Structure 1
Amino acid sequence: MSGPVHPPRTPPLHLLRTLCEVARRGSYREVADALHVTPSAVSHQMRDLQTRLGVVLVERSPRGTRLTAAGLQYSRACEAALAKLDEATAATQPATDRKLLRITLGPFIASEVVIPALPDFHQRHPELDIRVETSMRLADLEADEADIALRFGGAESTTLALEPLLSMSARPVCAPGLHRALAGDGELRFDQVTLLHSTAVPDAWTAWAQHTGLDAAALAGGIWFDSYLSLLRAAEQGLGIALGLFPAVEGWLRSGRLCVAAEGSLPIAQQYNMLYRRRDADWPALQAFRHWLLALPEFT
C-alpha cells in the first residue's frame, strides 16, 4: 500500500526572487548589481534552484543568459505569487500603524550626511523607531530586510521605486599638506604621487584620464580600498590622490580636510538614489523621511 503523495516543497523565497530578477534583466551581472551581491552568488542561487526543482531554468547564449521555456513560465508564476504574498504581508499590518523604519545606506553617506542630521528627524518624529544599517553589504528591500535604501546606482523594478537624489561628478582630491609639499601653487603631477582606487569602481581613474585627455597608462598602480569612506580618509592622511565625488565631498573641502588636486571633472553616469517598495509609497513614515532627506543641504 503506497503512502500519501506530498506536493513538491516550494523553494526558498530568495531563490524565487532571484529567478524573477534574471527573467527581468537577462544578465547575472545586472541582477547582482540590483541585489547587491556578486554574479557568482546569483549563479550559485540559480544552480541551487534548478537542483531543487530538477528542471533546467536558464541557458547560456552568445547574447548572455536567458530563461528556458520552463524557466519563463515558472518565473511568471513566481512573479505573480510573490506580488500577492507582498500584498498579503502588507495587509496584515496597516501602513499607518507601522512604527519601525529601517534604513540601509553606505558608510560614507551615513557618517557624513544622514547620521549627523538624524537627531533632527528623530525629534520631529519621536513616535518612530529607527533602525539604521551602515555597511558595504546593503540590505535587500525586496526580501523585506529594510524599508528605504540610499544607494549609489541601483535599479527600479515592478516592486521597487527609485527616486534620484544627487547627480555627481568626480575630481581629484588630496590632503592640503600633500598638495603644498609636492605642487606649491600649481597642480600635482601624477607621476609624483600614489593613486588611491576604489574596488567598487575599478576603472574610475581610466575614465577620468580619458575624459580629461591624459594618458591612462600613467595612472596605473596605487592602493585599493573597498570603502569610499576609507578611500577619502586615506587621502586625508596624505597617502595619495583620490577621486572625490562632488557635491558629496564638498564638506571635506570646506573643513580643510581635503583640497582639489587637479583640474578636470568627470560627470558620473550613475546617481545617488533612494529606493523603496512601491507598496509603501503612501506610508507616512516613509514620506516623512523622504521629505526630511530632500530638505537637507546636501540634497537641495
Structure 2
Amino acid sequence: MNERGRRLLPPMGALTCFEAAARLGSFSRAGDEVGLTQSAVSRQILLLEDWLQTPLFDRLGRRVRLNADGRAYADQVGPALHRIRRATAKAIERRPENELNIATLASFGMRWLAPRLPRFTERYPEYTVNFAARTSVFEFADEPFDAAIHFGWPDWPGAGHDLLFQEQAFPVASPRLIAERGVTTPADLARLPLLFQESRRAAWAEWFDQAGVSMTGAPGGATYDHFLMLAQAAVAGAGVALIPSFLIEPELASGALVRPFDISVSSERAYYLVHPSDRTVSPALSAFRSWIVEEATA
C-alpha cells in the first residue's frame, strides 16, 4: 500500500468510536459500548477530525450533534464497519465446507422444500443444509447465507439466478362454504369474502379477468402476510383464497379445501435460487443447485 493509501485509512479505534457516537448520539453511551471512558471517546473523535481536517460534530455545551459532514461520513463508514465485522465473524466461524446455509421464504420452505429435502440428503449424505426464513432481499455480504429462495423477477443485486418455476394459483375454499353459499359459477365467488396475500393484492382481479367476470369496483377482504395463514383462514370458512397449487396439496388431498373451478392464473414472476455472483461456488452449493433445479423441473 502506498503513502496515499495509508493516509486514507484512519485508525480503526477512532473509526469505531465515531461510528458508535454517531449511531447513539452520545460520547458517553458510545464509551459504554466500546469499553472506553467518555473522555477517551472524545479524544479518539478529535483524532479522527484532525485526520480528516474537518469537524464531524457540533459541540453544544456538554451535548454533541452530528453536523452535515459527520452525517455524510457516518452514512458511509457505518455500513463498511458492519461488513468488516460480518466478514471477521465468518472468518472466525470457519464453517465446514460440507455445510450450506439457505435463506428461504417460509411457505415455500415448509410446503415445497422440506418434503423434498430427504431426496437431497439421500443423494448427498455428505452435505448438511441449514434453513432460515427470510422474506426480503438482503446483501449476501451482510448475512451468513450461501444462497436464498427468491420470488419475483431475476433482479437480486449481485446474485446469479437459477429459475425454479412460476406460480399457478387458483381459488380454494372450505367445502361447507361452497355448499352453503350455492357457488356454481365463477361470478358467484364475487359474493363471498375474498382473502388476500399481502404481496399479491392484484391476484384476485387477474383471476376474475381470466374467468371473464366483470368486477364492479375493487374487491375487498382480509389480508394475510403468509400463504399458510391464508390457507388456514380458508379452511376455517373465513372466505375464498387464491393460493398457488404447490402450497395447498395437503389441504386438497384431505378435503379440508376444495377447488370449485379449474381456472388458474399464472404469474409472470417466478421462484429462483439466488447465490452471490462474486463467490466461488462450493461443491456443496453446486450439488444443491443441480438438485433443486432438477426437482423444480420434475
The SS at the match of 1:205 is: helix
Residues 1:230 and 2:229 aligned together: yes
Deviations, residues 13-59 of structure 1 (Å, cap 9, x unaligned): xxxxxxxxxxxxxxxxxxxxxxxxxxxxxxxxxxxxx9675549xxx
Normalising by structure 1, what TM-score? Answer: 0.62
Task: Provide the rounded CA distance (Å) in 2 between the counterparts of 1:52 and 1:251.
Answer: 58
Q: Give the CA deviation at 1:108.
A: 1.3
Task: Provide the rounded CA distance (Å) in 2 between the counterparts of 1:254 and 1:281.
Answer: 42
Residues 1:169 and 2:168 aligned together: yes
Task: Provide the rounded CA distance (Å) in 2 between the counterparts of 1:91 and 1:102.
Answer: 15
Partners of 2:112 and 2:246 within 8 A in 1: no
Partner of 2:202: 203
Task: Provide the rounded CA distance (Å) in 1 between the counterparts of 2:68 and 2:235.
Answer: 50
Task: Provide the rounded CA distance (Å) in 2 between the counterparts of 1:141 and 1:205.
Answer: 34
Residues 1:153 and 2:155 aligned together: no
Q: Give the CA deviation at 1:216.
A: 3.4
Letter of the 2:204 partner, please give it. Answer: W
Q: CA separation of 1:140/1:260 partners in 2, compared to 1, >3 Å: closer, same or farther?
A: farther
The SS at the match of 2:189 is: coil
Q: CA separation of 1:156/1:135 partners in 2, compared to 1, >3 Å: closer, same or farther?
A: closer
Partners of 2:137 and 2:156 within 8 A in 1: no
Partner of 2:58: none
Q: Give the CA deviation at 1:229.
A: 1.4
Q: CA separation of 1:6/1:91 partners in 2, compared to 1, >3 Å: closer, same or farther?
A: closer
Partners of 2:172 and 2:259 within 8 A in 1: yes
Q: Give the CA deviation at 1:227.
A: 0.8
Task: Provide the rounded CA distance (Å) in 2 between the counterparts of 1:250 and 1:211.
Answer: 23
Task: Provide the rounded CA distance (Å) in 1 between the counterparts of 2:242 and 2:69.
Answer: 45
Q: Which runs of 5+ in 2 are unaligned?
A: 1-6, 20-66
Count, aligned residues: 235
Partner of 1:124: 123
Q: Give the CA deviation at 1:273.
A: 1.0
Q: Please, which moves more after superposition, 274-283 or 179-188?
A: 179-188
Residues 30-41 of structure 1: pairs in structure 2 closer than 5 A: none
Q: CA separation of 1:218/1:238 partners in 2, compared to 1, >3 Å: closer, same or farther?
A: farther
Partners of 2:227 and 2:247 within 8 A in 1: no
Partners of 1:156 and 1:275 within 8 A in 2: no
Partner of 1:104: 103
Task: Provide the rounded CA distance (Å) in 1 between the counterparts of 2:149 and 2:200.
Answer: 18
Q: CA separation of 1:191/1:271 partners in 2, compared to 1, >3 Å: closer, same or farther?
A: closer
- Of Structure 1 and Structure 2, which has the larger fraction of its residues in helix? 2
Q: CA separation of 1:232/1:138 partners in 2, compared to 1, >3 Å: closer, same or farther?
A: farther
Please tell me the root mean square deviation across aligned C-alpha atoms, in Å: 4.1
Partner of 1:144: 143
Deviations, residues 161-190 of structure 1 (Å, cap 9, x unaligned): 011111223322212332233236655713
Deviations, residues 273-296 of structure 1 (Å, cap 9, x unaligned): 110112446311112112222333
Q: Please, which moves more after superposition, 244-253 or 269-278?
A: 244-253
Task: Provide the rounded CA distance (Å) in 2 between the counterparts of 1:275 and 1:183.
Answer: 45
Residues 1:288 and 2:292 aligned together: no
The SS at the match of 1:221 is: coil
Partners of 2:172 and 2:240 within 8 A in 1: yes
Partners of 1:102 and 1:147 within 8 A in 2: yes
Partner of 2:241: 242
Larger Rg: 2
Residues 1:190 and 2:189 aligned together: yes
Q: Give the CA deviation at 1:196.
A: 0.3
Normalising by structure 2, what TM-score? Answer: 0.62
Letter of the 2:172 partner, please give it. Answer: V
Q: Give the CA deviation at 1:143.
A: 2.1
Q: CA separation of 1:286/1:257 partners in 2, compared to 1, >3 Å: closer, same or farther?
A: farther
Deviations, residues 128-186 of structure 1 (Å, cap 9, x unaligned): 33221125456643423311211211544663101111122332221233223323665
Percent sequence identity over aligned pairs: 23
Partners of 1:166 and 1:271 within 8 A in 2: yes
Task: Provide the rounded CA distance (Å) in 1 between the counterparts of 2:267 and 2:108.
Answer: 17
Task: Provide the rounded CA distance (Å) in 2 between the counterparts of 1:103 and 1:286.
Answer: 10
